[in-house]
Amino acid sequence: MPVIKPIITAVASIPVATGGTITTTVTPAVTRYFAVITEAMIGADSITMPATSFIDDAEAAITAFPALTGAEYYNVYINGMLQQLALSTLTTASLVLDTTDVLAGTPVLLEIASFTNTASAITTQPTISAPVITIIS
C-alpha cells in the first residue's frame, strides 16, 4: 500500500507587542575636590597632584579618588576655568595635568559625576499578540 503524504501550506502573522512602559531613574552623585598647586607638584612636562593634597566639600582630607568605572565622568577646573579632558589624567592616586604653564598657588577643582545609581524597570507589561495561522491547503 502506498504511503500518502499530506502537504499543508500555511501562513502566519508576526506577533505584535504594544504598550508597556519602562521607567528609568537616574540619581547622579557629584563630588568635588579642591587643592592648590605647589612648586613640588610642577614637573618637567606635567603637574602631578596627589590625591592626598585635595580636600572634599566638607573640607575633609582625602586619601584617594574614587575609581572611574565608565559610569562616571570628571571635570577639571584650573583657576575657575573648565579644562579640556585630554589635558588631564585621573587615577585613584593622583590628578596629572599635561601642562607646566600654571603657577604655584593656583587653585584646582576636580568634579566627579557618578551615574552608578541608575535603575530601569518595566512598570506596565506590554501586550503581545499571538500569531494568526491560516492554512491555505
- Residue-level pLDDT at 10: 86
The tally of domains found in the chain comes to 1
The predicted-structure confidence for 61-87, as pLDDT tens digits, reads as follows 999 999 998 889 999 999 999 999 999
Query: How far apart, in whole angstroms, are the C-alpha atoms of residue 21 and residue 126?
Result: 7
Query: How far apart, in whole angstroms, are the C-alpha atoms of residue 110 and residue 34?
Result: 6
For residue 4, being part of any structural domain is answered with: no
For residue 98, being part of any structural domain is answered with: yes
- Global pTM reads 0.72
For residue 23, being part of any structural domain is answered with: no
Q: What are phi and psi of 39, to 5 degrees?
A: -60, -35
For residue 22, being part of any structural domain is answered with: no
For residue 43, being part of any structural domain is answered with: yes
For residue 93, being part of any structural domain is answered with: yes
For the chain, give the mean pLDDT.
92
Q: By residue range, what is the domain housing residue 89?
A: 30-121
In the chain, % helix, strand, coil (3-state, to 5) comes to: 5, 45, 45
For residue 112, being part of any structural domain is answered with: yes
- Residue-level pLDDT at 1: 67
